[in-house]
Structures are given as structure tokens and as C-alpha cells.
Amino acid sequence: MTDRTTAPPELAVTDVTVRFAGLTALDAVSFTVTPGSVHALIGPNGAGKSTCFNVLSGLCRPAAGTVRLGDADLTRLAPHRIAALGVARTFQNIVTTQGTVADNLMLGRHALSRSGFAASALRLPQARREQREHLDRAREIAELTGLAQHFDHPVALLSYGDRKRVEFARALCLEPSVLLLDEPVAGMNAAERARTVEVVHTVRAELGLSVVLVEHDMGLVMRLADEVTVLDFGRRIAHGTPDEVRSDPEVLRAYLGTGAEQEDAA
């Protein structure tokens, strides 16, 4: 299990540039995620937020720039290597539709298994013990994310909000030091959104990890984030606390006044 007594390493994004044919989706973007903080990436549609997440999780290779987690250089590593180094992510759309909550969380534990395939298949004592430990930890994570009562239920029978939280819990099962949450409340009703905010607060306090968040719900960003980086047309146009960013003239211009309306609606 991950040692929770040490602070997570700093995630540093430096001068990252991504181009798609003639379009510069990210233009020398830099920001640093303070260990243990919640860092939001915001910006209007097409600003480059998803591209940035794809770089952080290894799905997109930048043309220039670096991504470092503590001493480790993550730039251009394959997604599974980045996950193994402690960066886990969720996706905007739910990918989980099969199996029970326990099955899905155990999939998240798979990458941490030390016993080989043969030992697991033969159910050797060491493999059985390891399996039990992983199941115990999966249950703890289900409790932390408010899914304990559904642990043995099929995911397909859960509400939309609970299924989104299964994705979240599965990412946590990797014992990450940095969790990337891609629009964690998209499509949720007000009660589900409030519950998700609560769960992010709990997880961060209990596990001490850093969270990077892409989210269109400005009310949620303002409630959750310690720091905010604002992108527009692939460039970083502002950075600071939620209060600093919400009054920044360039941010207001980029959102053409829609930021305030979205927050009121949240």
C-alpha cells in the first residue's frame, strides 16, 4: 500500500505545446500542482483542457515541453507507465457498465498485484492472501467514496451519480498521488453534485493526494479548487486562487460574461 505519511510529489507542467495539423491546441502551457492541493483547469470550449489531461495521462504526446512528477519525467511515457508512477484519471463518459462495484474496484487494484498470473490462477496461498488484502482495500475505498452499501451490487443497476463515483473509486484503487478528474459532475443533478464535492473533500483529506480537475461547473470549481489555471485558445491566460481568477479581466473577457451566469446556475 502507498505510504500516506509522506506528501505527494509536485506535478510540474512546463512549456507544453501540442499541435494538431495546423492548430496549436496547447501553446507553451505551464503550471504547477502544489502537493495535496485541488488544482482546476478551466476555460471556454476548445481551450485545450482535454488535450492537457491527455498529455498528463500519456494519451497525447506533446511536441515540446515537459511533465514531471517529483523526480520522474512523465513526458512521452505510455499511459500504463504514468499510472504506475502515481497519476490516475477518470474520463468524462462512464466506461463502466459490467460486473459489480467490487469487480470494478478490483480491476483498479490489478496493476498493483505482485503475484504472477500463474500463482493467481493456481490460487497459491500468497496469491490468495494478496487478493484478500486488495479486496479489503477496495472496500475501504468504497466506504470513502460513499459506495459501501453498493459494494456487491451490479454497476448497471446503480444511479448515474453512483456509477460516476465507481469510476472515481476505481482510479483511487491505483493508490495515485495525483488524481485527474475529467468533468466529475457532468450530467449529475444538484444532489449528486453536492455529494461528489463532499467525496472529493473527504478523499483529499483522508488520502492526502493532489487533485487536478477539469470542470465546466464554475460553482463546483470555486468551492473545490485551491488554485485555478485558465486556458483560452491553448494559451494560459490566468492563474491564481478562485477569487483572483474570477475577477481577472482577461478571464471575464474569455468567458464573455458567461462565467458568472454559470456559477449562479450551479
Smallest distance from ligand ATP to CB 155, Å: 25
| Binding residues with ligand ATP: total (CB under 6 A) | 11
Toward ligand ATP, which CB reaches closer, 12 or 59?
59
Smallest distance from ligand ATP to CB 122, Å: 44
Using DSSP's 3-state secondary structure scheme, residue 220 falls into helix
Q: Is residue 47 within the footprint of ligand ATP (CB under 6 A)?
A: yes
Residue 86 — φ and ψ, nearest 5°?
Answer: 115, 15
Alpha-carbon span 265 to 243, nearest angstrom: 18
Placement of cell 502537493 in the chain? 35
Alpha-carbon span 40 to 106, nearest angstrom: 28
Smallest distance from ligand ATP to CB 43, Å: 5
Toward ligand ATP, which CB reaches closer, 155 or 225?
225
Among 48, 65, 146, 259, contact with ligand ATP (rule: CB under 6 A):
48
Rg (CA), the chain: 19
Q: Is residue 160 within the footprint of ligand ATP (CB under 6 A)?
A: no
Among 39, 49, 165, 236, contact with ligand ATP (rule: CB under 6 A):
49
CB 88: neighbour CB atoms within 10 A?
A: 23
Alpha-carbon span 220 to 204, nearest angstrom: 15
CB 98 within 8 A of CB 37: no
Q: What residues are paired with 154 via a beta bridge?
A: 100
Smallest distance from ligand ATP to CB 46, Å: 4
Site for ligand ATP in 24-43 (CB under 6 A): 25, 43
Q: Is residue 89 within the footprint of ligand ATP (CB under 6 A)?
A: no
Among 20, 123, 149, 160, contact with ligand ATP (rule: CB under 6 A):
20
Residue 74 — φ and ψ, nearest 5°?
Answer: -90, -10
Site for ligand ATP, rule CB under 6 A: 20, 23, 25, 43, 45-51
